[in-house]
Structure 1
Amino acid sequence: MSLQWSLIAGFLYIEIAIVLVLVLPVASPRRWNSLFKSKFLQGLQRQAGVYFLILLAILVLFLLDAIREMRKYSNIDSEEHGHAHLDREMQGSMRLFRAQRNFYISGFSLFLSLVIRRLVILISAQATLQAQSEASMRQAQSATTAAKSLLAQHKGEAEQNESNEAHDKEVNALKTKISELEDELKLEKKDKTAVKSQADNLAREYDRLAEEHSKLQKKVTVGAGDKKDE
């Protein structure tokens, strides 16, 4: 195997290892995302698009070269007549095998490059979605706590309003009762005044009657004395 194809084969093995590491549950998406956003990779990411396009172009060139070699050595069998040149036929078959091997190596390298790029994008998106979901959960929990506190506050205010209303009802009832008692007291005072005035009138009438009685007795006594003198 020539040097360039050895390098591509080594790159293919590295890609297979990277895909396995990214696919297997070695680390959480958040850790992978923090690794992708490290200072070193961030520095490379500025020119990563250019490097990736250059890499794809190189792999496409090697893939096209492998396809060209396959087509070239596939036509040798049709050009040969019989088995007169066995040596040449074996060399052609070996070169065809190498061309097919190079085709698979370059093809899989190109395919895994796209797969790795897609995996990195998906892992970063998954980490971002997890962070957003956790932030949304925290926000929802804080909103739920605030809503519960507001409900408790409103409930306390409602209970306080109910107690104030009950207190106002009691105060109003007491005021009504006091006004009724004041009216009854006024009536009792009026009755007492009427009874007192009536008693005074009766006392005056009794004094008058007693005075008249005494006068009548005196008259009776005087009339009896005059009759005795006669």
Structure 2
Amino acid sequence: MSLQWTLIATFLYAEIAVVLLLVLPVASPQRWQRLFKSRFLQSLGQQASMYFLVLLAILVLFLLDAIREIRKYSSPDIHDHAHPHLDAEMQGNMRLFRAQRNFYISGFALFLSLVIRRLVILISAQATLLAQSEASMKQAQSANAAARSYLQKSGESAENASNEVHDKNIKELKIQLKELESKKTELENELAKEKKDKLAVKSQADSLAKEYDRLNEEHSKLLTTGGDKKSD
């Protein structure tokens, strides 16, 4: 294998290793994102697009060269001319095999270059989405905690307000109870006074009835005495 194809094959093996590292769960997307945003890669990132285009152009050139070699050594004219000589035919088949091998090496290297670029973009996007989801989750948790604290404070204020209303109602009821007790005392005093007045009136009525009876008896006696005097 020539030097350039050895380098391309080495590059292909390196690409396979990188794809395996990116596909297998070796590291989280956040770690890959930190690696992608490292100072070294950031310094290369300014010219990464140009490097990538140059790499693609080189791989495309080698791929086209491999296709040309395949078409060259798979031509039926060459096999017809080389058929009488076995050594020449074997050398043609060997060159055709090398051309096909170079075609596969350059084709897979080109394909894996595109795959690695796409994987890097997807991993970066996934890391960004994970960071946004974590930020949204933290924001939702803080909002939930704030809502709970607000509800707790509002519940405590409502409870305090209800306690104040309850105390106010109790005070009003005590005042009303005192007023009712004072009215009850006044009514009892008035009732006792009325009972005294009733007893006094009753005693006066009894004394008047006794006086009336006495006067009636005296009148009867006077009438009796006057009748006796007339008969005499």
Q: Which residue of 2 aligns with 1:109?
A: 109
- 1:98-147 alpha-carbon deviations (Å, 9 max, x no partner): 11011000001001101111111121122212222222222222122112
Q: Which moved more, 1:185-194 or 1:17-26?
A: 185-194
TM-score relative to the length of structure 1: 0.78
Matches within 5 A, 1:159-170: 159-170=159-170
- 1:124-183 alpha-carbon deviations (Å, 9 max, x no partner): 122212222222222222122112211211221222222222222212211221222233
- Using the aligned pairs only, state the percent identity: 61
Q: Which residue of 2 aligns with 1:153?
A: 153
Q: Which residue of 2 aligns with 1:184?
A: 184
CA contact (8 A) 1:15 1:112 kept: yes
Q: Which residue of 1 aligns with 2:47?
A: 47
Shift of 1:81: 5.5
- 1:68-120 alpha-carbon deviations (Å, 9 max, x no partner): 11011111456616831323222211111111011000001001101111111
Structure 2: tracts of 5 or more residues without a match: 209-232
Q: Which residue of 1 aligns with 2:35?
A: 35
Q: Which residue of 2 aligns with 1:226?
A: none
CA contact (8 A) 1:15 1:113 kept: yes
Q: Distance in 2 between matches of 1:144 and 1:71?
A: 69
Q: 2:64 is aligned with what amino acid?
A: L
Aligned length: 209
CA contact (8 A) 2:22 2:119 kept: yes
Matches within 5 A, 1:79-158: 80=80, 83-158=83-158
Q: 1:182 is aligned with what amino acid?
A: S
Q: 1:102 is aligned with what amino acid?
A: N
TM-score relative to the length of structure 2: 0.78
Shift of 1:65: 1.0
Q: Distance in 2 between matches of 1:145 and 1:155?
A: 15
Q: Distance in 2 between matches of 1:94 and 1:57?
A: 27
Structure 1: tracts of 5 or more residues without a match: 210-230
Q: 2:93 is aligned with what amino acid?
A: S
Shift of 1:196: 8.1
CA contact (8 A) 1:33 1:124 kept: yes
Matches within 5 A, 1:10-25: 10-25=10-25
Name the SS for the 1:80 alignment partner.
Answer: helix
Q: Distance in 2 between matches of 1:4 and 1:161?
A: 87
Matches within 5 A, 1:51-66: 51-66=51-66
